Amino acid sequence: MKVRSGGGFRAILYTLKKGREVGGVFKMYHAMRTRNACKTCALGMGGQKGGMVNERGAFPEVCKKSLQAMAADLQPAVLPTFWDQHPVEQLSQMTPRELEHCGRLVQPVIYRRGASHFQTISWEESLSRIAAKLRSLTPDETFWYFSGRSSNEAGFLLQLLARLYGTNNVNNCSYYCHQASGVGLQSSIGSGTATIVLEDLEQADLVFVIGGNPASNHPRMMTSLMHVRRRGGHVIVINPVRETGMVNFRIPSDPISLLFGTKIASHYVQPHIGGDLALLWGIAKQCCEDETIDREFLDAHCTDSAAWLDAVAAMSWDEIVAKSGIDRDQIRTVAGVYANSQRTVFAWTMGITHHAHGVQNVQAIANLAMARGMLGRPGCGLLPIRGHSNVQGIGSVGVTPKLKDAIFENLQSKFHLDLPTTTGLDTLACMEAAHDRRMKFGLCLGGNLYGSNPDSRYAAEALSRLEMSVMLSTTLNTGHVNGLADETIILPVLPRDEEPEATTQESMFNFIRMSDGGPRRVPGPRSEVRVIADLGRRAIGDSDLICWDQLQQTSTIRNWISEVVPGYTKLDKIEATKQEFQLEGRTFHTPKFPTADGKAVMHTHALPDLKGTDSNELRLMTVRSEGQFNTVVYEEEDLYRNQDRRDIILMHPDDLQRLGLQHDQPVSIRSDTGQIDGYLARGFDSIRPGNSLMYYPESNCLVSRYADPQSKTPAFKGIVVTVTPLA
């Protein structure tokens, strides 16, 4: 039966199914209700308000993603015999889903070049080996990669360790997702995060959702969009794919929505992949021509508005229509809805950032908000929809190649530390250095660096040229079994709801949450913070300034963070007060911005040519499925797109006919970077003709390593491919 709405009774049945898998629905419910931040997206669930509660206190707020992540942590342990029974060659052929479902990692394991299997190893030997390797290398022969699954405390401590060791090769997973948002926003408003709080989203009368599919990837956001529609507001979705859940969604916790469904998109616009920038400028041009822009706001609160207005006037409609793929009438309609709005929120995800011009896309969104004064007042603003639940916090506490000046100065002045001043490498640059054998050691705090990279063949080669790779993880993923170094060590760590001490996380609304931790479910894994502190003691040693035993306590780390990280001054009291808080200086309810002159900055752009226009070409974007979170695949099916497998390329039926293909015909897919043979070409009438989609990370071998020059984010969208019948 074709799925025609997101959520609904299927979501309820899925909840019951996952509950049975882990030993009962009550066991799952108890795990979900603990006072810990949700393990998946950064919407801001849980913490001291309790699990399944959002930042406004609404209950029950839960989604399949959080259930899937919790179910993974409720799995039984991977037994020692597993490693004897599964050679590395076999593990490397397993799918992301198969690896995820192997169970919880509970013992350190090591792979040595030339061996056929991983072997178990003691904690003592593993940490001693890692420390010895670090002492044998120069600091800039190492890199340190962080995912958003960890806590502020673990992130701060590990980046501190890396810098005390002597390197700034410190980077996080946002370089492969929302780094373009941070750079674009910083250049526009002086702050790299959302300008609003959750209440602002609830008060809006218009929400743009651009280049995203929160129905699949951030399902709890659908409740807020439902509230917007019920108040008579509008939701404009801009996406080359007509996503089922963005058309209609049934909120399981709302009886009316559950039974009758909620229409989410009031307007659905399908530009070509890569056409967003032209469309955004087109909406702005129509607003200017209709004289609906707020010139008083531009004059009083924006820099370079005159140049922007001149650029808008000079841009031709023929160019806008050709490069966006959207006709003038539809642009006029969207601009008219925007013109009638009193409170607009602009939200976007990686359909905006995963382009060679991702920063320009974000700047154009900010321009459009400024054009009608939709910044600096309640109910309005900019909302990058962040992925992992603490990816924003990891960046806030210093996990960047260049420390923010304030953090750098505070660490030196308040703690008297001698920090490196060399230029740190971003994530892709670290991979290139590894490929050139200039990098010899890599440590990953969570995540899947191999699976997150473009050009997966190159990524495997680069990682395999390391002398040592270390990964701190809870379950297996493809990064553990591909691109293996001379020595690859996997250290099993605890998820946040099993940590022995409280930790904190930051939501995409700049809200600091505290996770209480809880009892361990399986023996063997260790606290991330304690593993990092133990490694620091072994590799660097104590001094008059650093006592690693004290830094095993998360309360000590919070004291450090509160002293050095802007906006985090309340953090050192959070365990005692239980008072979670909004970070100061990031939410803008008055039009005063943290730029040099207090004004927002407008940017002008040249529109990029639309790629993939030859008769035998398609534009391709890599996407996540409804049964997936980041690189983790929980289910092979993609329910909302009505797909039962992942080894496919989806294209419009007109493109199947144009390319001489049949539905479900095996094909060869080629880009300028790689090739995939044997996938099925499927007709999918929800996508705009001329465009196609494939699942990430399996299709990463087709993705070029070319990155946005400003953010260094690879272009996982806008890949030009040819699709031919498999000979």
Per-residue pLDDT of 321-346, as tens digits, reads 999 999 999 999 999 999 999 999 99
Fold classification of 108-177+390-572 is Rossmann fold (3.40.50)
Is the pLDDT confidence value at 64 over 80? yes
pLDDT computed for residue 387 by the predictor: 86
pLDDT average, residue stretch 266-293: 98
Separate counts of helices (H) and strands (E) for the chain? 30, 28
- Level-2 CATH architecture, domain 180-385: 3-Layer(aba) Sandwich (3.40)
Q: Which pLDDT band holds residue 178 (cuts at 50, 70, 90)?
A: very high
| Domains of the chain, residue spans | 6-74, 108-177+390-572, 180-385, 617-725
**pLDDT > 90? residue 282:** yes
Length of the chain: 727
The percentage of the chain sitting over the pLDDT mark of 70, rounded to a whole number, equals: 100
**Dist. CA 280–CA 367, nearest whole Å:** 9
On average, the pLDDT of the chain sits at 96
The answer, yes or no, to whether residue 1 has pLDDT greater than 80, is no
Mean pLDDT in residue range 447-463: 97
pLDDT digits over 311-323, tens only? 999 999 999 999 9
> If you average pLDDT over residues 76-87, what whole number do you get?
97
Average pLDDT over residues 655-674: 98
Q: Does domain 617-725 have CATH number 2.102.10.10?
A: no
Predicted confidence band of residue 696 (pLDDT cuts 50, 70, 90) = very high
**pLDDT value, residue 130:** 98
Least confident range of 1-5, 265-269, 498-502: 1-5
Q: For the residues 659-687, what does the mean pLDDT come to?
A: 98
Q: Encode 167-193: b = buried (16+ Cβ within 10 Å), e = exposed.
A: bbbbbbbbbbbbbbbbbbbbbbbbbbb
pLDDT at site 264: 98
CA 661 to CA 654: how far, in whole Å?
10
**pLDDT of res. 727:** 77
> Is 430 in contact with 469 (CB distance < 8 Å)?
no
What's the average model confidence in pLDDT over 73-91? 97
- Measured between its terminal Cα atoms, the distance across the chain in Å is 33
The residue behind tokens 């260094």 is: 712
Q: What is the DSSP string of 487-534?
A: EEEEEEB--GGG-SS-EEEE-TTSEEEEE-----SSSS-B-HHHHHHH
